[in-house]
Amino acid sequence: MYKWIPLLFLCFLFACSSAQDPDANMDAEQKAADTSKEAQEKESLRKTYDSQKINASTTSETTDETAITPNTVTIPAIDVKADIENVGRYANGQMGEPGSVDGVGWYKDGYQPGAKGSAVLAGHVDSRTGPAVFYNLEDLQEGDEIIVTDDEGTEQTFIVQKSEAYDRKNAPLNKIFGFSYRRQLNLITCTGEFNKEAGTHDERLVVYAVHEDDVNPAG
């Protein structure tokens, strides 16, 4: 079943600011009003999602019975097992961040893991005291497993397909957060140089994974 995701105001990716007040690390540009370029990007996203909504409504297929509300995530290849908390969006449009450097945030206004669409999890790469939960996320390889579990122990397993790094202000939001006919799980963390003026890293790393049953779908 198609779900409308409020991406028009998801102007910036995961804040990655080490569990501080979200306003503390906003640079002047983030606090400023939308530029004409941002307005054009939002309009483009709106048209894209309008089109997807129409196209998705023509299919009766659904995989919502496999959707879960995530409670923990396990990534054996990089020795990660972490609790998941629900996060939304800050007033400036950024995806919220987990309250702990050892925790992971699920974008609750998006898709559930196991449903058609792109479920998104985000975690910190480091902190003032050292590595954080997704410090080794860049080491994931195609074929590695990501296991998401709900509070009743139901598991959904996703298989890593690829990783991409994007400028934090120019990431493909539609691709990361948007609708898909496959059950996808995308993991986000910071990468690149740390920008002291902005109080965050210059880039975001996105690991794209697909549900194990959708990697090579029949037909």
Per-residue model confidence as pLDDT tens digits over 66-92 = 999 999 999 999 999 999 999 998 887
Residue 118 confidence (pLDDT) above 90: yes
> Mean per-residue pLDDT for 32-50?
48
> Choosing from 11, 190, 201, 211, which is the catalytic residue?
190
190 catalytic residue (yes or no): yes
Between residues 44 and 145, which one has the greater pLDDT? 145
Any domain includes 203: yes
> What digits encode the pLDDT tens for the residues 152-169?
999 999 999 999 999 877
Q: Please report the pLDDT score of residue 90 as a whole number.
A: 86
Percent of the chain with pLDDT over 70: 65
Any domain includes 216: no
Q: Please report the pLDDT score of residue 142 as a whole number.
A: 97
Any domain includes 17: no
> Choosing from 11, 16, 124, 211, which is the catalytic residue?
124
Any domain includes 96: yes
Any domain includes 16: no
Any domain includes 32: yes
Please write down the HEC assignment for all residues of the chain: CCCCCCCCCCCECCCCCCCCCCCCCCCHHHHCCCCHHHHHHHHHHHHHHHHHHHHHCCCCCCCHHHCCCCCEEEEHHHCEEEEEEEECECCCCEECCCCCCCCEEEECCCCCCCCCEEEEEEECCEECCEECCCCCHHHCCCCCEEEEECCCCCEEEEEEEEEEEEECCCCCHHHHHCCCCCEEEEEEEEEEEEECCCCEEEEEEEEEEEECCCCCCCC
Note down the domain range covering 95. Answer: 28-211
Q: Please report the pLDDT score of residue 64 as a whole number.
A: 76
Q: Please report the pLDDT score of residue 52 as a whole number.
A: 43
Any domain includes 184: yes
Any domain includes 137: yes
11 catalytic residue (yes or no): no
Looking at the structure of the chain, the number of domains it has is 1
Q: Please report the pLDDT score of residue 94 as a whole number.
A: 80
